[in-house]
Amino acid sequence: GENVEQHPSTLSVQEGDSAVIKCTYSDSASNYFPWYKQELGKRPQLIIDIRSNVGEKKDQRIAVTLNKTAKHFSLHITETQPEDSAVYFCAARGVTGGGNKLTFGTGTQLKVEL
């Protein structure tokens, strides 16, 4: 089945700096890659996603890039703010076995320091 690896597990940046989180996936047929933000004790919130036929997608301060050849995708947050502090999860949608199954990475704890 699909396997998703995520790095780093923790990331500390100064307010205003950029943050980059990287994920790799194993199933070359995977076709959808969402990113979720989860604050402590809250639900995962979908913040941005990308499909396999697109190389990059931006939404204000966040962007996601996808390299299908290398099977990796990244989340970029620019001009970080304290409210960006949370755990971020990447995921990949596998196509084998039917359904709409997402395999998640292990998460990145982002801390934005003042």
User: What is the binding site for another protein (CB under 8 A)?
Assistant: 32, 34, 36, 42-46, 49, 51, 89, 91, 93, 97-107
| Smallest separation, CB 52 to another protein (Å) | 11
Closest CA to 74 of 29, 18, 113: 18
Give the nearer residue to another protein in terms of CB position, either 43 or 69.
43
Contact yes or no for 32/92 (Cβ under 8 A): yes
Give the nearer residue to another protein in terms of CB position, either 78 or 109.
109
Give the nearer residue to another protein in terms of CB position, either 77 or 87.
87
| Smallest separation, CB 101 to another protein (Å) | 5
